[in-house]
Amino acid sequence: MSEPIKIDVWSDIACPWCFIGKRRFEGGSGLFAGAGEGRAVEVEYHSFELSPDTPVDFDGSEVDFLAGHKGIPAEQVGEMLERVTGIASSLGLNYDYDNLKHTNTVKAHELLHFAKANGKQLELAERLFSAYFEQGRHVGRIEDLADLAAEVGLDRAEALAALESSQYLEDVRADQRTAAEFGINGVPFFVIDGKYGVSGAQEAQTFAQVLEQVWTERQAVTA
């Protein structure tokens, strides 16, 4: 059996296209895996903060934040959110911007590194995205994050201690430095097999094609 194709994903929990991109990549990797024996991928998430200056407890709606932060007219923001909500819905995601709690995501990124160290990163990424976009949960406060960690089978007390001590903050910063070195200035960004970069929430078929290309190249080398 061949080694799984490594997928490094730079994303932010507060990025609506990152959750959409996650679903589309899962669709594409499923198409790829179903095309023949021995095909597999290994996914690792890396930290990227879209708005690092956001307060943990932002007083206002997502419209308020985007209108203030990006300088976009509120009416236009509403149209943007409606569009992205429709695209998410087509993938089975139920974005709820009325109840979304905008927050700083650095602690969520620290928790993803804690989860990686404990073999639960993919489960936690899914949980955080859903909690933020679909369930109106707070993903910026450490107590709330520890609760979410426990929900995917991580030790709550250990997660809380890691967040309180900022144990994984340097890992977050290292991811961000690597993103800067790669020239990544928007997310989601997928690095496939360490050599191909795919920017944005591409369609599932696009991901499947890139994976197929990497697979074909590998077979040519080992033939």
pLDDT of residue 68: 87
Structural contact between residues 135 and 127, judged by C-beta atoms closer than 8 angstroms: no
Quick one: tokens of 56?
A: 């943990």
pLDDT of residue 39: 93
pTM: 0.96
What are the C-alpha distances in Å from 95 to residues 17, 109, 135, 217? Answer: 11, 21, 8, 38
Is residue 44 left, alpha or beta, with left meaning phi > 0 and alpha meaning psi from -120 to 50? beta
Rounded to whole angstroms, how far apart are CA atoms 209 and 212?
5
pLDDT of residue 163: 98
- Mean pLDDT by runs of 10 across the 223 residues of the chain is 90 98 98 92 98 93 88 92 98 97 97 98 98 98 98 98 98 98 96 96 98 92 69
Tell me whether strands 41-47 and 5-11 are parallel, antiparallel or unpaired. parallel
pLDDT of residue 1: 53
pLDDT of residue 214: 95
Q: Nearest 5°: CA angle at 21, between 215 and 193?
A: 25
Q: Which of 187, 138, 145 is nearest to 164 (CA)?
A: 145
Q: Which of 215, 209, 197 is nearest to 9 (CA)?
A: 197
List the domains of the chain with CATH numbers. 5-222 (3.40.30.10)
